Amino acid sequence: MGVDIPTLLVIFLLLFLFGLLTFRIARRLFRRIMKGTSENKINLLSRVFAFILAPIIVIGGLALFIYVSIQTAPKESEEEMVHNHYQMMEEDIAKDLRIGMSKGDVTELLGESDTTQSVMTYDLSLPEAREKYLLEIKFNNGALTSFERKR
């Protein structure tokens, strides 16, 4: 995870613009406050002031923007999260289990089950979810014939 080139360009542009704005405001203030000081000294102080303050303004503004964006982002409800989790599990199970697999292959993939010889049942429910996820796998002559979710 990194920052792409256009984002870096925007950040540098913001730094430059806020630096220039800060420099000009600081120079104007220093001229009013320090009336007997040379122009070179005022420019130097303004540059230092802008060099320190511009990044603080840009980074602070970006941090505030990110904070507000995170706070206003829609959050999933517990039920939506469980539903999405089970949906992803179903997609993974459909990829991993194949008709004709041996019972040993299924046991290796999903672990041991307390069931009969021809039907294996797995409780894949989330610990605190109201909705249960039971996977029923049927075998005939040691080969997987079907698998489906039981509610």
Average pLDDT, rounded, for the chain: 84
Whether the pLDDT of residue 150 is over 80: the answer is no
Tell me the per-residue pLDDT of 85-130, one tens digit each, with 9 for 90 and over.
Answer: 888 888 888 888 888 888 788 888 877 776 666 788 777 778 777 7
Say whether both 9 and 56 belong to one domain.
yes
Residue-number span of the structural domain to which 118 is assigned? 78-150
At CA 116, angle to CA 110 and CA 119, rounded to 5?
A: 60
* Cα–Cα distance, 22 to 63 (Å, whole number): 19
Domain CATH number, residue 104 = 3.30.1450.10
Say whether both 94 and 111 belong to one domain.
yes
* Cα–Cα distance, 93 to 82 (Å, whole number): 16
Of 72, 94, 121, the residue that ends a domain is 72
Of 53, 72, 91, the residue that ends a domain is 72
* Cα–Cα distance, 13 to 2 (Å, whole number): 19
Whether the pLDDT of residue 1 is over 60: the answer is no
- Contact criterion met (CB below 8 Å) for 76 and 87: no
- Contact criterion met (CB below 8 Å) for 119 and 102: no
Tell me the per-residue pLDDT of 14-24, one tens digit each, with 9 for 90 and over.
Answer: 899 999 999 99
Report the domain count for the chain: 2
Task: Output the pLDDT for position 115.
Answer: 62
Residue bearing the bigger pLDDT, 6 or 104: 6
Say whether both 48 and 84 belong to one domain.
no
What is the value of pTM for the model shown? 0.46
Say whether both 13 and 59 belong to one domain.
yes
